[in-house]
A and B are shown apart, each in its own frame.
Chain A
């Protein structure tokens, strides 16, 4: 399986806070497909910096309110 990027996000939570914005609506707002929004939400794809900024602007928050760096867990 492809290695997941160490980046977490709050996109689902932010969509719910914005009148339950659909994944399709967010996808259209930032100019990607719904499947790409799903992949970003699930952490299977790290968006480009441009798309990351577009997402944060749609929600009216800063980049780090949407995305966060996940520190590797000690095992």
Chain B
């Protein structure tokens, strides 16, 4: 498995774990309040710090075992894969954004809009790594 595929697996796992951590708190708080919880910057900043620290740790571990491969820039096939995965993940973000706007137009719940858009951002990042893994394995 190439260095970039290992990184994609690791980043996907980190983002899924951090996303679960974030939404567990948002859902828990919403249930306690009996309505959609307002955006809580403590959770958002906690999510961002969790993702950054875990990413640094995991990337250092993977890079230390990959040797020269970790230092080399992406080659033409890897660049094509990264571009295509980034392009496809944009659709995931767009679908999430449209879903958020659709909900807002019906429910007029700005808090829900925030959570849907933030969730779509997370989902598009996870999807980007999933598409990368798919393309690394199946060809571009």
B139 near A33 with CB under 8 A, answer no
A22 CB to nearest B CB, Å: 15
B75 near A45 with CB under 8 A, answer no
B69 to chain A: which residues have CB within 8 Å? Answer: 33
| In the complex, B136 has a CB within 8 A of chain A | yes
Chain A-chain B contacts (Cβ-Cβ < 8 Å), number: 37
Residue A33 contacts which of B72, B135, B140 (CB distance < 8 angstroms)? B72
A2 near B78 with CB under 8 A, answer no
| In the complex, B77 has a CB within 8 A of chain A | yes
B contacts with A, residue count (CB < 8 A): 13
Residue B76 contacts which of A1, A4, A35, A51 (CB distance < 8 angstroms)? A51
A45-B78 contact in complex given A33-B72, A35-B2, C-beta closer than 8 Å: no
Q: Is the interface of A mostly helix, strand, loop or mixed?
A: loop
A contacts with B, residue count (CB < 8 A): 15
Cα separation A72 to B17 with both chains bound (whole Å): 46
Residue B2 contacts which of A4, A33, A45, A47 (CB distance < 8 angstroms)? A33
A-binding residues in B (CB < 8 A): 2, 5, 69, 72, 75-78, 135-136, 138-140
CB-defined A-B contacts under 8 Å, sample of 12: A1-B139, A32-B76, A32-B77, A33-B2, A33-B69, A33-B77, A33-B78, A35-B2, A36-B76, A36-B77, A45-B139, A51-B76
